[in-house]
Amino acid sequence: MSAPKPDGRVRDAHGKAGILAEALPYIREFTGKTVVVKYGGHAMDDPALAELFAQDVVLMRLVGMNPVVVHGGGPQICDLMRRLGKEPEFVDGLRVTDAETVDIARMALVGKVNRDIVTSLNLHGSYAMGLSGEDAGLLRVVPRDPRLGFVGDVSRVDPAVLERVLREELIPVIATIGVDDTGQAYNVNADAAAGAIAAALHAEKLVYLTDVAGIYEDFGDDSSLISETDVAGLQRLLGAGKVGEGMTPKVRSCIDALEQGVHRAHILDGRVAHALLLEFFTREGVGTVIDQRASRKGSAE
């Protein structure tokens, strides 16, 4: 007599058990490890994706990882500027940030975007703490270009406040406003800030959530998606002019972070539901991983 076939509920339960079993070795590998996630783009603008992001980050914390969230908010700054009667101005694609604009940026990033992310995470438990690069001298900057005004490049990261927050098993959520040595506030590119923070924390991973599937050998050709590459591969793509303007800060920050000791970087499509969990806890992964060993299908070398 043959055994009865499991009904649909049992099959679903078996499938879920299989997923958990597949995730177990990855959970063991990453327990206690710090992961810096740069959050932005469509994933932040879409409420449904924002909720999934919050679930992913809190789950990472609950299984023993130390997630650190870094965010910008360019569209939110532009929106607030226009609401206040000030039209955004750009030079070579970069926002001109006068004294009034840097105050607006602080209001948008620290007062609005940061609070929204912290609130979404804390709906799943009291885990998130909002910070700015101004807090405890976290992000020290130097001016980038006199034409841009108060736009800064990170010159130094003091990770002490983040290390204290992580020891308390909390999730730091960082708005990318920095200060110079006089205490003047500057707007900072969030991609660059995430890379610098990851390097200062000696993070296991640096992750960028974007609006594309990853890095392409030939952008627009879906079959040319690069699954895995290394620093040399990224440098080759940059040198060949194959990295788009929007991706360039991420790629350069990945190179800098890896050269300063971050073990691995990822560029993921934030429009994919649970992109973080798929990359960290499944065999296949998603997006592009940058490592010193290019072994997954689709190398840039």
In sign, the C-alpha dihedral spanning 5, 7, 13, 15 is: positive
Angle at 263 between CA 199 and CA 127, to 5 degrees: 65
Alpha-carbon distance of 4 to 166, in angstroms, equals 50
Structure tokens at 118: 């912290």
Alpha-carbon distance of 144 to 180, in angstroms, equals 12
From the CB of residue 53, how many other CB atoms can be counted at a distance below 10 Å?
25
| Catalytic residue IDs | 38, 41, 74, 191, 250
Query: What letter would DSSP give residue 146?
Result: G
Query: What letter would DSSP give residue 3?
Result: P
Helical H runs in 72-204?
74-83, 99-106, 114-122, 160-167, 190-200
Alpha-carbon distance of 61 to 277, in angstroms, equals 12
